[in-house]
């Protein structure tokens, strides 16, 4: 048995604090041979606290490291093959790669600068979702052939705009294009299916992913404009998975005084609670809000906003939570 495999079988993995970031403890659920997904971050692109942010949540996070949150990302792990996959390369990828090393050590590291993940799948070209690729360049890690899964438009953005094009030219990343609604095999046990969603597509189109394992599946949908703009019903997508991580960027329309909320459209959590209220309890309990902005009061555990979500039969995602696949 390899040292990496023993790492997978060890119960009660404890994650250490790295720098100022809050690194959570990870429960024993899902350890052993069962594939699983691990939430690496729950914050919107700017993290918590956000640069220059003066919301109550920012002030609390600066005082208490336990209140800090990494940017939204998901780790998908197959302990049987000792493989791991990442959804979105965030500005916090350094800390998140350290978490991945502790939770899902790779089988064996080749000489040089081997890929840190078997693949990195990108949702879209907003800074919280791809900017971490910068750490794969020669100024930092200098990866060799890191597999990156992206839509055609996202791939062209990376291939034709600096500094990202240098990652491609120097083979730090190797892009593979995916197509909406066509499953992509991560390995023999895991797959992801990209689902196109309406969003502020200035530089690329936007996707959520349905992640499927041997026995369970989950929806990863951190960004969308409004549910009503989609070409399908979110309720139908939720019904087809075991757990649904959905856009919870803002709680309501009051969070950005002095700014037009229409410039950054998202389904407010308050709107989602009202929309999902008629769902059966079993369906509502699948719904988990992620990608919370630094202004979102639901980012504070025990807040009135979080209590309202729980009362409605849903919840807010926690860093370090596992979902068996």
pLDDT for res 112: 77
Average pLDDT over residues 33-61: 93
Strands of 61-216 (E only): list them: 73-78, 83-87, 119-121, 146-150, 173-177, 184-185, 191-197, 206-212
Average pLDDT over residues 187-204: 95
Q: Which residue has the higher pLDDT, 44 or 110?
A: 44
Burial of 156 per CB tally in 10 Å (0-12, 13-18, 19+): middle
Q: Where are the domains of the chain?
A: 3-324
Q: Which residue has the higher pLDDT, 263 or 150?
A: 150
- Is residue 110 very low, low, confident or very high in pLDDT (cuts 50, 70, 90)? low
- Is residue 107 very low, low, confident or very high in pLDDT (cuts 50, 70, 90)? confident
How many angstroms separate the CA atoms of 130 and 148, rounded?
10
- Is residue 261 very low, low, confident or very high in pLDDT (cuts 50, 70, 90)? low
Q: Count CA atoms closer than 13 A to 313's CA, side-chain side.
A: 15
- Cα–Cα nearest to 291, from 198, 195, 224: 224
pLDDT for res 208: 98
How many angstroms separate the CA atoms of 28 and 30, rounded?
6
Q: Which residue has the higher pLDDT, 42 or 110?
A: 42
Contact of 72 with 27, CB cutoff 8 Å: no
pLDDT for res 4: 46
How many angstroms separate the CA atoms of 320 and 74, rounded?
10
Distance of alpha carbon 169 from the chain centroid: 27
Q: Is CATH 3.40.120.10 the classification given to domain 3-324?
A: no
């Amino acid at each position: 048995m390899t040292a990496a495999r023993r790492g997978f079988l060890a119960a009660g993995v404890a994650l250490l604090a790295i720098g100022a970031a809050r690194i959570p403890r990870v429960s024993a659920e899902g350890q052993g041979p069962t594939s699983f997904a691990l939430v690496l971050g729950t914050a919107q692109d700017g993290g918590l606290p956000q640069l220059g942010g003066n919301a109550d949540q920012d002030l609390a996070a600066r005082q208490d490291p336990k209140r800090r949150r990494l940017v939204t990302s998901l780790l998908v792990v197959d302990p049987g093959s000792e493989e791991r996959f990442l959804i979105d390369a965030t500005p916090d990828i350094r800390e998140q790669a350290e978490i991945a090393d502790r939770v899902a050590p790779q089988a064996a590291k080749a000489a040089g600068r081997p890929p840190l993940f078997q693949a990195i799948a990108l949702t879209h070209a907003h800074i919280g979702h791809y900017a971490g690729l910068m750490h794969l360049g020669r100024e930092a890690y200098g990866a060799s052939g890191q597999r990156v899964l992206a839509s055609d438009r996202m791939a062209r953005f990376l291939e034709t705009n600096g500094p990202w094009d240098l990652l491609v030219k120097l083979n730090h990343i190797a892009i593979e294009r995916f197509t909406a609604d066509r499953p992509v095999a991560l390995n023999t046990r895991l797959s992801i299916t990209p689902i196109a969603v309406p969003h502020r597509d200035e530089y690329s189109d936007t996707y959520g992913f349905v992640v499927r394992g041997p026995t369970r599946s989950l929806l990863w949908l951190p960004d969308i404009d409004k549910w009503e703009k989609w070409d399908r019903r979110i309720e139908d997508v939720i019904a087809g998975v075991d757990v649904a991580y959905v856009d919870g960027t803002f709680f309501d329309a009051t969070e950005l005084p002095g700014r037009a909320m229409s410039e950054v459209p998202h389904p407010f959590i308050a709107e989602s609670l009202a929309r999902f209220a008629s769902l059966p309890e079993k369906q509502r309990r699948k719904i988990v809000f992620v990608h919370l902005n630094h202004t979102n009061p639901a980012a504070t555990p025990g807040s009135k906003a979080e209590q309202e979500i729980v009362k409605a039969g849903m919840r807010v995602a926690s860093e370090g939570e596992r979902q068996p696949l």
